[in-house]
């Protein structure tokens, strides 16, 4: 599958998702507040992950998986924004999702409007930060509305997914020369937060043996990711491929942790 076909497929998915919503069938399918927090948090990390995949395609890194990310995550984002907007338990939260929906339109246009290029890559990086900021605000609002420590744990562990993808996004942007000055500081700050929050999660009294085991796996995967970020291989493309693959592994583990906390909260 070539890049042009991938972009065309993404456009088709977006159009279908829009039509789905217009005909009233994309109604909220959210089971409870912790499900909402999980899905809200997914919009934080997905915005970063989409930018990461775009940069990787531009560099020819982890190409097939990067295409799959664009082809599947874009229609998911369309659908999930509508679900969360419809679910919003307060006018303030709904207002935040209306703002996210508007910002997402411009972001999506950059992702699928043309083959990846550095000029759009620079715009995409800046807009991704705006999108993540709005999605993070909405997730925090939902977590506060839940009023439970379990909801807080769903939010924190969900934020770990976002941080892993933010770090990878900036790393790949720097490699492609589309990152602004100060990007290494953004990586360092996100890494420090990830390590701190991982420690907080590992110390949570609510943890089951299964959650503890998964968090230990997350700690191991963090070590691999951190080593990849150091970029010690002489071949730059190998380094970027290592960042691509290890960032996906730690995302998978932390996503499992979020699901465990969500199920724990609904018992």
Q: Could you list the residue range(s) of the whole structural domain that residue 226 is in?
A: 3-265
Q: Which two tokens stand for residue 88?
A: 């919003």
Residue 265: the pLDDT is 61
How many domains, in total, are found in the chain?
1
Residue 25: the pLDDT is 38
Residue 12: the pLDDT is 53
* Mean pLDDT split into 10-residue runs, the chain, 267 residues: 50 48 50 93 97 98 97 97 96 98 96 94 97 96 90 93 98 97 96 97 96 97 96 90 97 96 76
Whether the full predicted model's pTM is greater than 0.85, yes or no, is yes
Distance CA 224, CA 220 (A): 7
How buried is residue 253: exposed, middle or buried, by Cβ count under 10 Å (0-12/13-18/19+)? buried
Secondary structure of 242-259 as H, E, C letters: HHHHHHHHHHHHHHHHHH
DSSP state of 234: S
Query: Please, what's the b/e burial string for 167-194 (b: 16 or more CB within 10 A of its CB; e: otherwise)?
Result: bbbbbbbbbbebbeeebeebbeebbeeb
Residue 230: the pLDDT is 94
Q: Which two tokens stand for residue 264?
A: 């724990």
Query: Please, what's the b/e burial string for 16-40 (b: 16 or more CB within 10 A of its CB; e: otherwise)?
Result: ebbeebeeeebeeebeebbbbbbbb
């Amino acid at each position: 599958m070539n890049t042009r076909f991938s972009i065309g497929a993404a456009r088709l998915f977006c159009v279908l998702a829009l039509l789905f919503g217009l005909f009233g069938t994309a109604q909220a399918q959210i089971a409870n507040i912790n499900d909402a927090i999980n899905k809200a948090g997914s919009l934080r990390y997905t915005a970063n992950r989409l930018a990461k995949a775009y940069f990787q395609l531009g560099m020819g890194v982890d190409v097939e998986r990067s295409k799959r990310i664009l082809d599947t995550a874009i229609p998911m984002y369309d659908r999930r924004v509508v679900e969360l907007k419809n679910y919003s338990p307060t006018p303030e939260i709904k207002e935040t999702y209306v703002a996210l929906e508007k910002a997402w339109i411009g972001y999506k246009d950059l992702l699928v409007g043309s083959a990846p290029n550095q000029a759009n890559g620079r715009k995409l990086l800046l807009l991704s930060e705006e999108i993540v900021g709005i999605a993070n605000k909405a997730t925090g609002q939902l977590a506060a509305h839940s009023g439970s420590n379990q909801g807080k744990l769903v939010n924190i562990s969900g934020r770990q997914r976002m941080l892993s993808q933010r770090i990878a996004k900036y790393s790949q942007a720097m490699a492609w020369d589309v990152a602004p000055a100060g990007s290494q500081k953004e990586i360092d700050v996100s890494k420090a937060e990830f390590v701190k929050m991982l420690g907080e999660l590992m110390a949570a009294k609510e943890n089951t043996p299964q959650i503890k085991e998964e968090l230990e796996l997350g700690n191991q995967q963090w070590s691999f990711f951190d080593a990849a970020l150091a970029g010690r291989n002489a071949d730059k493309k190998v380094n970027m491929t290592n960042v691509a693959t290890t960032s996906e592994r730690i995302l998978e583990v932390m996503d499992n942790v979020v699901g465990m906390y969500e199920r724990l909260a609904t018992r």
